[in-house]
Amino acid sequence: MSAAVTEADQTTSTENTGPREGAFGNAVALACRECSHRVDLGPFYACPECFGPLEIAYEFPAITRAEIEAGPRNIWRYKALLPVPTDIEASPNTEPGFTRLLEAKNLAAELGLARLWVKDDSTNPTNSFKDRVVACALSAARELDAKVFACPSTGNLANAVAAAGARAGIKTVVFIPSNLEQPKQVNSAIFTESLVAVDGNYDDVNKLASEIAGEEEGWAFVNVNVRPYYAEGSKTLGYEIAEQLGWRLPDQIVIPVASGSQLTKVDKAFQELIKLGLVEDKPYRIFGAQAEGCGPVATAFKAGTDAIRPVKPDTIAKSLAIGNPADGIYVLDIARRTGGAVEEVTDDEVRAGIVLLARTEGIFTETAGGTTVAVTRKLVETGQLDPELETVVINTGHGLKTLDAISGQVGAAATIAPTYESFKATGIA
- Tens digits of residue pLDDT in 217-247: 999 999 999 999 999 999 999 999 999 999 9
Contacts (Cβ under 8 Å, ≥6 apart) of 296: 290, 308, 309, 310, 311, 323, 324, 325, 328
- Residue 231: CB atoms within 10 Å: 28
**Tally of CB atoms within 10 A around 73:** 10
In this prediction, residue 73 carries a pLDDT of 96
Give per-residue pLDDT as tens, 112-137: 999 999 999 999 999 999 999 999 99
* Per-residue pLDDT, 117: 98
Q: Enumerate the β-bridge partners of residue 407.
A: 410
**Integer Rg of the chain from CA:** 21
Statement: residue 20 has pLDDT above 90: no
Query: Which of the two residues, 72 and 17, has the higher pLDDT score?
Result: 72
Model pLDDT, residue 21: 86
Residue 299: partners with Cβ closer than 8 Å, 6 or more residues away? 308, 309, 311, 344
Average pLDDT, the chain: 94
Q: What is the pLDDT of residue 4?
A: 42
d(CA 54, CA 72): 29
CA 419-425-429 angle, to 5 degrees, is: 90
Reported confidence tier of residue 9, pLDDT bands at 50, 70, 90: very low
Phi, psi of 53 (to 5 degrees): -70, 140
- Confidence category of residue 17, pLDDT binned at 50, 70, 90: low
**d(C-alpha 55, C-alpha 44), whole Å:** 9
How many CA atoms does the CB half-sphere of 289 hold within 13 Å?
31
What is the structure's pLDDT at 5? 40
Sort 199 into a burial class: Cβ within 10 Å, 0-12 / 13-18 / 19+. Answer: exposed
Taking phi first (over 0 means left), then psi (-120 to 50 degrees means alpha), and beta for anything else, what does residue 276 get? alpha
pLDDT at position 408 is 85
Among the listed ranges 10-24, 384-398, 412-426, which one has the minimum average pLDDT value? 10-24
**C-beta separation of 272 from 232 below 8 A:** no
Q: Picking from 153-157, 288-292, 390-394, which range would have the lowest pLDDT averaged per residue?
A: 153-157
Distance CA 89, CA 25 (A): 13
Please give the DSSP secondary-structure letter assigned to residue 181.
Answer: -
| pLDDT tens track for 33-92 | 999 999 999 989 999 999 999 999 999 999 999 999 999 999 999 999 999 999 999 999
Is the predicted pLDDT of residue 11 greater than 50, yes or no? no
DSSP-derived pairing of the beta strands 38-39 and 27-32:
antiparallel
Taking Cα atoms as reference points, which of 170, 99, 102 lies closest to residue 137? 170
**What pLDDT, on a 0 to 100 scale, did the predictor assign at position 166?**
97
Return d(Cα 286, Cα 266) in angstroms, integer: 9
pLDDT value at position 1?
58
C-beta neighbour count of 309 within 10 angstroms = 12
Mean pLDDT across 325-329: 95
Residues 289/376, Cβ–Cβ less than 8 Å: yes
Is the pLDDT at 18 greater than 80? The verdict is: no
pLDDT at site 352:
97
pLDDT tens digits for 177-191? 999 888 889 999 999
